[in-house]
Every structure is written in structure tokens, then in C-alpha cells.
Amino acid sequence: MGWTPWTVPTAADASREGALAGQLARAAGSVILDLEPYAGFWRGTAHDADAFIAAYRQETDAPLRISLDHRRVGEGFPYPSFMDAAADLLPQVYWTDFRRSWAAVLEEAEAVLTPYGKPIEYVLPGNAQPADFAAALAWCIERGANASIWVWQTIRAENWPALG
């Protein structure tokens, strides 16, 4: 099991944030950017995204991994410069928050993101019911896709065995 730093750039100073993320990625081997169009997350423009990527690439060639809310991609976010620079895409498929079935959310993410031609790693909710968690993990495995788990404070004890 590997570890990759996860960061939430906000574009308060896009070039500086890009350089810092690049330094982190150079040290760790890669970095995940959590790009969401909500308060407390990315607030910059497409120009800011270009500046972030340019500064990142000045620091490193390390893989840039993009965690996103796939439901917002149709609205043009994250910006093309982020999507183009991404080594892989990590959709936040939190069916427990979206109040939808796990299958509907994962299939929707697959349909939205497959056209980008990037590997997809599904970020599953750690608070899911064990049967749903196991089924979603099996779905990922059947497709040869990676999966990771997002945890806000706790993961259900019943979900640890599914991780091997």
C-alpha cells in the first residue's frame, strides 16, 4: 500500500501553490490535488490554473493526480489545464453523501471520465455500509481500476477486511 500526499490548492497565489505542490511531489513521488468548485477549495480562474501547472512543472515531472467531483466536469471544472496535466483521475464517488446507489454513482463517474483517456482510481466512502462497500470495491476490481478510501474521522470497522 502506497502513500501519496493530498493537498487542497485554493489559488490564493496560484504560482506559489503550484511551486509548493511541485516541491512536495518531487519529494514524495507524486501529489494529489483536491479540486472542487466549492467554498474552501479552488477559487481561481482558468488563467490561475495555467499558472499553477506551469509552476508545478518548473519544480518536477512527478505525476500530478487529480481528485475531483465528477458531477461538475460537465460545467468545465476542473479547468482543461488540470485535466490535461493529470496522470490519473480520482473521482470522489461518495454515494453515502450523494444519497444515491453506489452503482449509479460509480457508473456515472466512469461515463464522465473515461473519455479523458486517463486511469481512474475511484475514491470510495469509508462510512459506507459493508455490503455496498464490498460490492463497489468488487466493481472496481472487475474493471481493473484502482480504488482508495476517503475517511472523515472514522472508517467502519467492518470495511477494513475488504482492503486486504
- Partners of 65 in beta bridges: 32, 88
Task: Yes or no: say if 126 and 96 are a contact pair by the CB < 8 Å rule.
Answer: no
Confidence label for 1 from pLDDT (cuts 50, 70 and 90): very low
Rounded distance, CA 10 to CA 99, Å?
A: 27
pLDDT digits over 82-118, tens only?
999 999 999 999 999 999 999 999 999 999 999 999 9
- Burial of 106 from C-beta contacts in 10 A (0-12 / 13-18 / 19+): buried
Give the global pTM: 0.89
Positive or negative: CA dihedral 96, 98, 103, 105: negative
- Coil, helix or strand for 94? coil
> Cell 482508495 identifies what position?
148
Domain ranges of the chain: 1-66, 87-164
Lowest mean pLDDT among 15-19, 130-134, 149-153: 149-153
Backbone torsions φ then ψ of 68, nearest 5 degrees: -150, 165
